[in-house]
Amino acid sequence: MEHILIVGAGIAAVTAADALRRAGHIGRITVVGDEPHAPYSRPPLSKGVLKKTETLDSVTLPALPADVELLRGTPAVALDRDARTVRLADGRDVAYDGLVIATGARARALRTDGSGELLLRSIDDALTLEERWAHARSVLVIGGGFLGMEVASTARHLGLDVTVIDLVPHLVRQFGTYLAERMTAAAEASGVSLVVAPEGIELIGDDVVQGVRTVGGATRAADVVVSAVGDLPNVEWLASAGLADPRGLLVDSRCRIAPDIVAIGDVARTGERRTPHWGAALDQARVAAVALLHGDEAAEYVPAPYFWTEQWGLDLKICGEIPIDVEPEVIAGSWHENSLLLQYRVDGVPVAAASVNRRFPITKLRALAQPALVAS
């Protein structure tokens, strides 16, 4: 392949560019991103950036090699698979021999047009949120998952009154009952109000969302309201190619859609699921790069979930998928020490592991979570 085009400019795209070179590609590589910023890491936005313990410069990813062309602020708007071209918003058609789709996902809004909602997905979102709550006393976060609770933790750290509202008990879907109970206890101990509204909510306010109204008629208002209710894969630009599945782009075991097209990161799914985590983006990018160049010679992508969060003074790292109602074994440490290592088993087989406020190598945590996978 002479020219490989990477659409998207996040961690998956940058990793793919590096992996292509490492796999022997000596031709052109072009990376197309829709934001004007240099490629950056998103996870710190809800943590260190908003806390002001990290600068925007610190989240910028290492610069792409000089022989990789980067086009910033130029969203892709259409794909012509027959002509092997991608149309950009400025009207240019960029030809490719191999295509890497790494367009990621965007924050999901509760309103169809997102009017008046504050979201957090990009650097610009973080700057807007930072400016808004610099003059606020109270924050209402809609969504009690990873992002919502991280935003809430940061807001509380900055001295704001914080409420987090969700349809279901906070963090259970992500951490299972055991860890969720302890994380939410830490949130409440810090002064945060956690509200469950199973019948749903309605946003209050037009130009700016000012609060929510529950189905029962109760209202909750705040100076700043942030929606953190998941994400949606960026596939609309692929409608002309018949690939705009709202569930994400279905890929094979080597991240391929076709021999000349791969998809990686938050936009890709295997089976019915996407795995919108930093670690998955890296692993998929490395597999996809080799598959694009060498086909079935590439190793298959084997999901090895790894993610982390920082909230309420707890630094939590997880490998594997935590079963919701399984109580883990405490391998080391204790909650009394506020530092521990957990292992989850199903029918005696390890399926996940977690470390809390503990220095523990990720390779060892992964081995504790999925020893059979690591051994293979």
- Per-residue pLDDT, averaged over 173-197, amounts to 96
Work out the angle between the directed axes of helices 172-189 and 146-157 (0-180°, nearest 10): 20
What does the pLDDT read at residue 268?
Answer: 97
- Per-residue pLDDT, averaged over 107-119, amounts to 93
pLDDT at 7 over 70: yes
Query: What is the per-residue pLDDT across 61-76, written as a single tens digit (0 to 9) for each?
Result: 999 989 999 999 999 9
CA-to-CA separations, 144 to 51, 65, 85, 245, in angstroms, rounded: 19, 39, 41, 27
Phi first, then psi: give them for residue 300, nearest 5 degrees. Answer: -75, 150
What does the pLDDT read at residue 114?
Answer: 86
What does the pLDDT read at residue 303?
Answer: 87
Work out the angle between the directed axes of helices 11-22 and 278-294 (0-180°, nearest 10): 40
Residue 298 · residue 291 · CB < 8 Å:
yes
What does the pLDDT read at residue 231?
Answer: 95
First to last CA, the chain: 32
- Per-residue pLDDT, averaged over 121-141, amounts to 95
What does the pLDDT read at residue 15?
Answer: 97
Q: With left for phi above 0 and alpha for psi between -120 and 50, is residue 281 left, alpha or beta?
A: alpha
pLDDT at 375 over 80: no
What is this structure's pTM?
A: 0.95
pLDDT at 360 over 70: yes
- Per-residue pLDDT, averaged over 275-298, amounts to 94
- Per-residue pLDDT, averaged over 272-294, amounts to 93
pLDDT band at 373; cut points 50, 70, 90:
low
- Per-residue pLDDT, averaged over 166-172, amounts to 95
What does the pLDDT read at residue 370?
Answer: 84
pLDDT at 376 over 60: no
Tell me the average pLDDT of the chain.
Answer: 94
Query: What is the per-residue pLDDT across 201-259, written as a single tens digit (0 to 9) for each?
Result: 999 998 999 999 998 888 999 999 999 999 999 999 999 999 999 999 999 999 999 99
What does the pLDDT read at residue 213?
Answer: 95
pLDDT at 44 over 70: yes
What does the pLDDT read at residue 23?
Answer: 96
Enter the DSSP assignment of 65: P
What does the pLDDT read at residue 355?
Answer: 97
CA distance 374 to 376: 5
